[in-house]
Amino acid sequence: MNSLPPVAGHPRHDTNDVTAEFDICQPFQLDSSSFRGRLIRLGPALDEIISRHKYPDELAPLLADTILLAATLASSLKYDGIFTLQTKGDGPVAYTVSDVTSVGDLRGYARFDADRLAEQRRHKGFRPDLGALLGAGYVAFTVDQGEHTERYQGIVELRGATLADAVRHYFRQSEQLAASIKSFVSKDADGRWVGGAIMLQALPPEDAGTFADHQPGVRDEDWHRAGVLLETVTAQELLDPALTVNDLIYRLFHEERPRIYERKELRPGCRCSRERVTGALRSIDRADLDDMRIDGVVAVSCEFCNATYNFTDTDLDEVYAGF
Q: What CATH number is attached to the domain comprising 315?
A: 3.90.1280.10
Domain end among 228, 247, 268: 268
Domain end among 226, 252, 268: 268
Question: Are 263 and 280 within one domain?
Answer: no
The CATH number given to whatever domain includes residue 35 is: 3.55.30.10
Question: Are 164 and 308 within one domain?
Answer: no
How many domains, in total, are found in the chain? 2
Judge whether 294 lies within some domain. Answer: yes
CB 59 within 8 A of CB 122: no
- Whether pTM > 0.95 for this model: the answer is no
Q: Which domain holds residue 311?
A: 274-319
Domain end among 229, 246, 268: 268
Question: Are 119 and 174 within one domain?
Answer: yes
Q: Which amino acid is at 2?
A: N
Question: Are 301 and 211 within one domain?
Answer: no
Residuewise pLDDT in 10s, the chain (323 residues): 333 333 333 333 444 455 679 999 999 999 988 899 999 999 999 999 999 999 999 999 999 999 999 999 999 999 999 999 999 999 999 999 999 999 999 999 999 999 999 998 888 778 889 999 999 999 999 999 887 788 888 999 999 999 999 998 888 877 566 789 999 999 999 999 999 999 999 876 555 554 444 555 567 889 999 999 999 999 999 999 899 999 999 999 999 999 999 999 999 999 999 999 999 999 999 889 888 888 889 999 999 999 999 999 999 999 998 66
Question: Are 294 and 193 within one domain?
Answer: no
